[in-house]
Amino acid sequence: MRAAAERASLLVVMTDPIGPARRAVEEQLAESSPALRAFFEQELAHAQAALAVDRSTIGLRVMIVAAADRVAHQLEPLIGEHPVACKRGCSWCCRGIRVEVLAPEALAIGQLLRSSRAPEAVTLLSRALATAGGPARDLSAAERWQAQLPCAFLDEQSGACTIYDARPMVCRRHNSMDVTACERAASGPAQSTTIPRLAGPEILYGLSQAALGCV
Ligand code: SF4
Ligand code: SF4
């Protein structure tokens, strides 16, 4: 758990958790602006304070997501120049794919559902999830795409993700600067349409995903 905590702390500077990489980043930080060094120190202090009171798997997951979201704000000027089209309720990307969820993310989804729904509703949902997974289980990636089966957490009427605040990193990292490209991709064969993406969020949430994999 201590190693995982160190990895989670290092996430805040978007770097590899391995020691030599950390030293390399610290060397780079030594050359960087006072504002970036202050941000690094502040994030490390934040992570250490959070870990002092909660080292549970859920606690680490909450800390990693919060750190990723804080770092995401640093990307806002970049995103302002190249806006992403993604927003709550847009869901072309919530169909036809296998949504992979790490253990801490599954726990967080369970926690969200238990805290926001009646026990009977959670039981019904668990059964519905088990049933919904059946038809997709044996499909290849191409068949899955062709079938455009919706994610079990998608509310098809509104297009809303029903677990938005606990959605996994794989959903957070996926982005597009052109929603019409997403729509075209959804109605064509898999990978036939190039989706213009912004690398920053993809890298950031990809590293967050890797950090969660260490928890
Ligand atoms: S990736 Fe495309 S479909 Fe998904 S939220 Fe972004 S714009 Fe919408
Ligand atoms: S978890 Fe939510 S955001 Fe992710 S694919 Fe499912 S409905 Fe879409």
Give me the residue spans of the domains in the chain.
2-81, 92-197
| pLDDT tens, position by position, 134-144 | 778 888 888 88
- Average pLDDT over every residue of 10-34: 58
Residues within a 6 A CB radius of ligand 1: 85-86, 90, 92-93, 174-176, 179, 182
Count of alpha carbons within 13 angstroms of residue 10, beta-carbon side: 23
| pTM confidence score | 0.77
Measured in Å, residue 91 CA sits from the centre of ligand 1 at 6
Ligand 2 binding pocket mutation candidate from 163, 172, 176 (most atoms within 8 A of CB)? 163
Residue bearing tokens 């030599």: 20
Which has the minimum average pLDDT: 8-12, 108-112, 182-186?
8-12
Residues whose CB is less than 8 angstroms from the CB of residue 11 and which lie 6 or more positions away in sequence, other chains included: 17, 64, 67, 68, 207, 208, 211
| pLDDT tens, position by position, 92-123 | 999 988 888 998 899 899 999 999 999 999 99
Nearest residue to 152 via CA among 173, 189, 127, 186: 127
Residue nearest to atom 4 of ligand 1 (CA): 93
At 160, phi and psi to the nearest 5?
-90, 145
